[in-house]
């Protein structure tokens, strides 16, 4: 059985599992990775890549339409077939040969099948043909099995063959009518995409649209969705769903409204992929999110590491930040941690230390690719107050920034920053407007580096760019006393 013993066994070859494996192998460890579907995970085939490909053409068209000269060159409408074809290419046509070749070149051993912890440091892999292989980990097992769509218990919904984000990301055709349950990131992005692709979109959002972002940003998205013809049913929810023999879906809402649609997309959050990973063998409850310590070791119900600390969890499955870039950040830290611990070397878990995924707590950047885009990092005004910080929020009209007016006629947007008044540093930044995504990293650096507000005055934004909003926000804030 020696060939089935590795230093590290990783369950799940999504972006996070792949990066943990890569880091461990680069540090001289042997690694086996187990994957039950496609190497590359949700992000590559059903999430980040295909959804952003669905949104990109419409964003480019909007940019052109806001410039009269360029608009004169646009003679037709969006070609949905071409958009879907380009999306297919970005999802690698749902083949993982490229990623498998990369695993091989990196020296990582791939096992196809469902991985399940069967004993301490042991993972049993069940292949599609039912054959099982037992893998032993000398140092660590890493759970990187990600998350999947959570479908709420609404009478009739499961039987109505609803779309989840997977079907929305991989649809072969644009439905005539699409109802979307949920007003979070997936719901609003897919409403933006499918409305632009020609579907008649209806949204049902019990908690309103994008409740976790600054209200000025979600308001702008709501306005644009309405302008695109999207019907918004906010503060209500479906009470029953039925697909009739002709395939039409009927939704009865709590506020008495009845909706008729061709497809219904459920975008009401995620659940961890932990129900079949063998958590019962380590005293944890299958189906739960995994709680981890600063080194990403899985914690038991008593708050101490499971076993003698051989089990780790990274990415969506630990519920710290359900984003590819944050999961890969955890993976980089974890890869190096595993190497250090295997060599009995110290692990640097000090705040901002080499092995600490500290940014998960305070500086998570996120871009929501709606119309307009929303880019945010760190706190909102509401989350800062909930965290007990004494903060001041300032906002500025992005349309009044010279570079924005030049960027597009009628440019509409807004930016806001949250300043910790005790430390006089930035703890949050949100910007909403066309083409603002690339502005975000400056804010991420300001927050993680804890740049004093007074020093930010010396970071001069170039004229005439949209980034001059930084100067306008500082002027609105005023010189720190
Ligand atoms: C519609 C949508 C759009 C998104 N867009 C973005 C975006 O633009 N930017 C961004 O940063 N994030 C985005 N995300 C989030 C992003 O997709 C996730 O954060 C990311 O995929 C998490 O990576 P992961 O490796 O933890 O998990 P996953 O990508 O889910 O990978 C986990 C892997 O584990 C495998 N697996 C599960 N159980 C087992 C088992 N028992 N045995 C073997 N293998 C197993 C799965 O098959 C999968 O391949 C989006 C999510 C959705 C749903």
Q: Could you tell me if 463 and 402 are in contact, meaning their C-beta atoms sit under 8 angstroms apart?
A: yes
Q: How far is the CA of 15 from the centre of ligand 1 (A)?
A: 7
Q: Could you tell me if 55 and 435 are in contact, meaning their C-beta atoms sit under 8 angstroms apart?
A: no
Residue 52 CA: nearest ligand 1 atom is: 8
Q: How far is the CA of 147 from the centre of ligand 1 (A)?
A: 6
Which contiguous run of DSSP H or E holds residue 161?
Answer: none
Q: How far is the CA of 44 from the centre of ligand 1 (A)?
A: 8
DSSP letters for 249-310: EEEEETTS-EEEESEEEE-S-EEES-TTS-GGGGT--TTPPPPB-TT-BBB-TTSSBSTTTT
The pLDDT value given to residue 63:
96
* CATH 3.30.390.30 residue spans of the chain: 372-479
Check pocket membership of 366 for ligand 1, CB cut-off 6 A.
no
Q: How far is the CA of 271 from the centre of ligand 1 (A)?
A: 11
> What letter does residue 163 receive in the DSSP assignment?
B
Domain 158-268 has CATH 3.40.640.10: no
Q: How far is the CA of 50 from the centre of ligand 1 (A)?
A: 13
The dotted CATH code for 372-479 is 3.30.390.30
Q: Could you tell me if 462 and 443 are in contact, meaning their C-beta atoms sit under 8 angstroms apart?
A: no
Check pocket membership of 48 for ligand 1, CB cut-off 6 A.
yes
Check pocket membership of 273 for ligand 1, CB cut-off 6 A.
yes
What's the chain's length in residues? 481
pLDDT above 90: residue 164: yes
pLDDT above 90: residue 480: no
Residue 148 CA: nearest ligand 1 atom is: 30
d(CA 66, CA 61) in angstroms, rounded, equals 9
d(CA 302, CA 131) in angstroms, rounded, equals 36
Question: How far is C-alpha 463 from the geometric centre of its chain's CA atoms?
Answer: 32
Residue 326 CA: nearest ligand 1 atom is: 11
d(CA 96, CA 324) in angstroms, rounded, equals 18
Closest by alpha carbon to 109, among 45, 206, 33, 28? 33
The dotted CATH code for 2-40+96-148+271-359 is 3.50.50.60
pLDDT above 50: residue 294: yes
Check pocket membership of 36 for ligand 1, CB cut-off 6 A.
yes
* CATH 3.50.50.60 residue spans of the chain: 2-40+96-148+271-359, 158-268
Which contiguous run of DSSP H or E holds residue 393?
Answer: strand 391-397
Q: Could you tell me if 43 and 324 are in contact, meaning their C-beta atoms sit under 8 angstroms apart?
A: yes
The 10s digit of each residue's pLDDT in 370-382 is: 999 999 999 999 9
Percent of the chain topping pLDDT 90: 98
Closest CA to ligand 1's atom 45: 12
pLDDT above 80: residue 1: no
């Amino acid at each position: 059985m020696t060939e089935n013993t590795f230093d590290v066994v990783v369950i799940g070859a999504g972006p996070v599992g792949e990066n943990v494996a890569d880091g461990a192998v680069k540090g001289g460890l042997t690694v086996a990775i187990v994957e039950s579907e496609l190497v590359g995970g949700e992000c590559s085939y059903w999430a980040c890549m295909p959804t952003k490909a669905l949104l990109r053409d419409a964003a480019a068209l909007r940019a052109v339409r806001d410039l009269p000269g360029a608009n004169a060159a646009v003679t037709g409408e969006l070609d949905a077939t071409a958009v879907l074809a380009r999306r297919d290419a970005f999802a690698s046509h749902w083949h993982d040969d490229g990623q498998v070749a990369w695993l091989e070149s990196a020296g990582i051993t791939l096992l196809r099948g469902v991985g399940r912890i069967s004993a301490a440091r042991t993972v049993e892999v069940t292949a599609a043909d039912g054959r099982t292989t037992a893998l032993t980990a000398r140092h660590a097992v890493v759970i990187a099995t990600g998350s999947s769509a959570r479908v709420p218990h609404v009478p009739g919904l499961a039987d109505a063959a609803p779309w989840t984000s997977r079907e929305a990301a991989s649809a072969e055709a644009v439905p005539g009518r699409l109802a979307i349950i949920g007003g979070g990131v997936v719901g609003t992005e897919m409403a933006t995409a499918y409305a632009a692709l020609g579907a008649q979109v209806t949204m049902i959002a019990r908690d309103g649209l994008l409740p976790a972002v600054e209200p000025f940003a979600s308001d702008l998205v709501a306005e644009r969705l309405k302008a695109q013809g999207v019907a918004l049913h906010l503060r209500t929810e479906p009470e029953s769903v039925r697909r009739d023999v002709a395939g039409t879906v009927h939704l009865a809402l709590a506020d008495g409204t009845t909706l008729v649609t061709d497809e219904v997309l459920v975008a009401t959050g995620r659940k961890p992929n932990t129900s079949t990973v063998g958590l019962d063998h380590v005293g944890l409850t299958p189906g739960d999110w995994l709680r981890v310590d600063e080194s990403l070791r899985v914690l038991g119900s008593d708050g101490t590491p499971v076993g003698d600390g051989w089990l780790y969890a990274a990415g969506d499955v630990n519920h710290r930040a359900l984003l590819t870039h944050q999961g890969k950040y955890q993976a980089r830290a974890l890869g190096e941690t595993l190497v250090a611990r295997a060599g009995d070397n110290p692990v640097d878990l000090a705040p901002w230390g080499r092995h600490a995924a500290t940014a998960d707590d305070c500086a998570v950047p996120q871009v929501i690719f709606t119309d307009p885009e929303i880019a945010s990092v760190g706190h909102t005004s509401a989350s800062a107050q909930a965290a007990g910080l004494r903060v001041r929020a300032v906002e500025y009209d992005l349309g009044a920034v010279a570079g924005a007016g030049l960027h597009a006629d009628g440019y509409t947007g807004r930016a806001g920053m949250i300043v910790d008044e005790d430390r006089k540093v930035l703890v949050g930044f949100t910007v909403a407007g066309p083409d603002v995504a690339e502005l975000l990293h400056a804010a991420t650096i300001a927050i993680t580096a804890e740049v004093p507000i007074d020093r930010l005055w010396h970071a001069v934004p170039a004229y005439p760019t949209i980034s001059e909003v930084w100067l306008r926000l500082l002027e609105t804030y005023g010189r720190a006393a």
